[in-house]
Amino acid sequence: MKSFQYLAPIPRFDYAAPRTFSDLFDILEVHGRGAAIIAGGTDLTIALKERTTSPKVVVDLRHLRGELGGISVARGTLRIGALATFSELETNPLVGRYANALREASANIGTLQIRTIATLGGNLATASPAADSAPPLIALGANVAVRSRSSERTVPVQDIFAGPKRNALQGGEVITAVEIPADAEVRSVWTRAAVRNENVLSAVSVAVAAKVHGRKFGPSRIALGAVAPTPILAETASEAMTGSRAAAEQAEKVAALAAEDARPISDIRASARYRKHLVHVLTRRLIMQVLSEAGMP
Amino acid sequence: MKLSFRLNGAKRNDDIEPNQTLCDYLHDIAGTTGVKKGCDTGECGACTVLLDGMPVTSCLVLAPQVDGREVVTVEGLGKKSDPNPVQRAFVEHDAVQCGYCIPGMIVTLSWIREHAPEASDVEIKRLMSGNLCRCTGYQQQIDALKTAMGASSRSP
């Protein structure tokens, strides 16, 4: 079993830390599926120990930080480099201003010792249905910038998730950045339920991003984590909220729809039924928080 | 492969196998045995070290990742003859029982003392949640940290 595997050394691999994208793409081309990319490494080292991956070569991105790091705003877009760590996201003022839900989730991921080294790009590439960065990014309408030797493309963040622990990257592609519309009028909040407060995977996580215009909600998006094979946009709930009256009764209606949008399974962290209940409660709580921050009764 | 980095202030050059964690390398090869392997899955924090000044669980870092970088273990924070303020306060508060978690705990709390000197009790608990102690219940260690924080504000 897993614990027994830990007694044996990790199987051998070669290690490369390319200094240019050209060298990176050469390595990815030569080794194909035999290459594993390492950013922070908090997921990959576990996978190596558990033998869920056994690469021929581990490719370290750290010398490419010039292009894969940094957090900046330009032309109405908040750009977060793939190598930004959760500690950086937790403390960066631009993230606080334009992506509060992401800041909140980042401050709760793992532990201090994980957040200092785990990266946003790595969290997305691992593609866990419970990835806590995903609901904020989906709610905020973020895109993921992906690059290969010959092309660059951007995809909506939910489309980077292909299935549980399966990403939608093609061979030879790397995530370079996450791009979020930088609109300070968007209020975004995140919360989760888990068996402990810290150092634990979410049983359910929810993010809401919305504008409040006068007595109505403007464009609104609700996203859910750990209640489907991938993090999802709660489509019917988001549509129902957009343009509706900004009031407590509406929060209840939208939250009920979000619970219907969830397609959870039962596992060690929660039953399917309890997860739907949690989606309902947490979504309502977040919408009430948006209302209260907007000064609505 | 060649591994070249600074460990507790001193330059190290080694020829290593890449398929090992920083935790195993530090404990078994570099001889910094204050680095303890507990869970080996990043949950318990006994293997915490500073990498470029930031706390990491060294069991989730591959040794080759630290090439060209700076690592500080508990050995680099203070000596028996010259303990750092957190180490001194741990003795004063009897914050140690079996001791296995303590080196990692000292690394994290020394970082908190330096980087979050105004932290509230709630914030201290959030920041130290990655260091599990199954003996003490944490109160003595939080008390020790607060003593160390107070001591640092009295003597700048």
- DSSP tag of A12: P
pLDDT in tens, B86-123: 999 999 999 999 999 999 999 999 999 999 999 999 99
Given pLDDT bands bounded at 50, 70 and 90, which one contains residue A5? Answer: low
A266 at interface of B, judged by CB pairs closer than 8 A: no
* Cβ-based neighbours of A238, under 8 Å, separated by 6 or more: A220, A221, A222
ipTM reported for the complex, 2 dp: 0.95
Q: Do B40 and A197 touch (CB under 8 A)?
A: no
Of A8-12, A258-262, A290-294, B138-142, the range with the lowest mean pLDDT is A8-12
Q: Which tens digit of pLDDT belongs to each residue from A144-171?
A: 999 999 999 999 999 999 999 999 999 9
- Chain A residues touching residue B44 (CB < 8 angstroms): none
pLDDT at A22: 97
d(CA A4, CA A22): 40
CATH architecture of A65-181: 2-Layer Sandwich (3.30)
Residue B154: the pLDDT is: 43
**pTM of the full predicted structure?**
0.96
DSSP string for A85-116 = BHHHHHH-HHHHHH-HHHHHHHHHSS-HHHHT
Nearest CA among A189, A183, A252 for reference residue A221: A189
Answer whether B122 touches A (CB < 8 Å). no
Pairing mode, strands A152-156 and A204-213:
unpaired
Q: Which residues of A98-124 are buried (b: 16+ CB within 10 A; e: fewer)?
A: bbbbbbbbbebbbbbbbbbbbbbbbbb
For residue A114, the Cα-to-chain-centroid distance in whole angstroms is: 15
CB count, 10 Å around CB of B107?
27
Domain extents for chain A?
Answer: 2-64, 65-181, 187-293
Q: Is the pLDDT of residue A245 over 50?
A: yes
Q: What is the structure's pLDDT at A1?
A: 44
How do residues B42-89 score in pLDDT, each as one tens digit?
999 999 999 999 999 999 999 999 999 999 999 999 999 999 999 999
Give domain B2-74's CATH architecture.
Roll (3.10)
Distance from C-alpha of A227 to C-alpha of B34, rounded to nearest angstrom: 41
> Is A13 in the B-facing interface, judged by CB distances under 8 Å?
yes
Collapsing DSSP states into helix, strand and coil, what is residue A224? strand
Contact A177, A82 (CB under 8 A): yes
Structure tokens at A138: 């989906």
Q: How is residue B21 annotated by DSSP?
A: B
Q: Which CATH number fits domain B85-154: 2.60.40.10, 1.10.150.120, 3.40.50.300, 1.20.120.1770?
A: 1.10.150.120
d(CA A162, CA B126): 33
Is B42 within 8 Å of A46 when comparing Cβ atoms? yes
State how far residue A131 is from chain B, nearest Cα, in angstroms.
Answer: 17
What mean pLDDT do residues A55-72 have? 97
Rounded CA separation B63/B78 (Å)? 24
Q: Which CATH number fits domain A2-64: 3.30.2130.10, 1.10.8.60, 3.30.43.10, 3.40.109.10?
A: 3.30.43.10
Nearest CA-CA distance, residue A239 and chain B, Å: 36
| HSE-up of residue B77 (Cα within 13 Å, Cβ side) | 27
CA dist A61 and A45 (Å) reads: 15
- A187-293: CATH topology: Enolase-like; domain 1 (3.30.390)
CB A221 within 8 A of CB A139: yes
CA distance A119 to A61: 11
Q: Which residue of B has its CA nearest to A40?
A: B61
Structure tokens at A289: 């928080």
- Return residues 95-124 of A near B (CB < 8 Å): 110-114, 116-117
- The whole-angstrom separation of Cα A44 and Cα B42 is 12
A11 contacts B62? CB cut-off 8 A: no
- Asked if B4 has any chain A CB less than 8 Å from its own CB, the reply is no
Of A12, A15, A42, which is closest to B60 when you measure between CB atoms?
Answer: A42
Contact between residue A251 and residue A284 where contact means Cβ atoms under 8 Å apart: yes
Residue type, A241: M
Strand order in the sheet with B70-72: B10-15, B2-7, B70-72, B48-51, B54-57
Is B17 in the A-facing interface, judged by CB distances under 8 Å? Answer: yes
Q: DSSP 3-state assignment of A250?
A: helix
Q: Please check the confidence at residue B15 and state whether its pLDDT lies above 60.
A: yes
CB contact under 8 A, B108 and A112: yes
Q: Is A181 helix (H, G, I), strand (E, B) or coil?
A: strand
Beta bridge partners of A153: A146
What's the pLDDT tens digit per position in A181-217?
Answer: 999 999 999 999 999 988 899 999 999 999 999 899 9
Beta-carbon separation of B20 and A10 below 8 A: yes
| Chain B residues with beta carbon closer than 8 angstroms to that of A114 | 42, 57, 60, 130
Q: What amino acid occupies position A168? A: A
Contacts of A44 in chain B (CB under 8 A): 62
Alpha-carbon span A264 to A259, nearest angstrom? 10
B127 in contact with chain A, both atoms CB, cutoff 8 A = yes
pLDDT surpassing 50 at residue B155: no
A181 vs A187: CA distance, rounded Å: 12
Asked if the C-beta of A46 comes within 8 angstroms of chain B's C-beta atoms, the answer is: yes
pLDDT digits (tens, 9 = 90+) for A216-238: 999 999 999 999 999 999 999 99
- Domain edges within chain B: 2-74, 85-154
Q: Judge contact between A5 and A45, C-beta under 8 A.
A: no
User: A89-98, pLDDT tens digit by residue?
Assistant: 999 999 999 9
* Neighbour-count burial of A43, counting CB atoms closer than 10 A to its CB (0-12 exposed, 13-18 middle, 19+ buried): buried
How close B65 gets to chain A, by Cα (Å)? 7
| Sign of the four-CA dihedral A161, A166, A167, A168 | negative
Where does the pLDDT of residue A265 fall: very low under 50, low under 70, confident under 90, or very high at 90 and above?
very high
Reading the block at residue B64, the tokens are 């080759």
Q: In the structure, what pLDDT confidence band is assigned to residue B151 with cuts at 50, 70 and 90?
A: low
Question: DSSP state, A169?
Answer: P
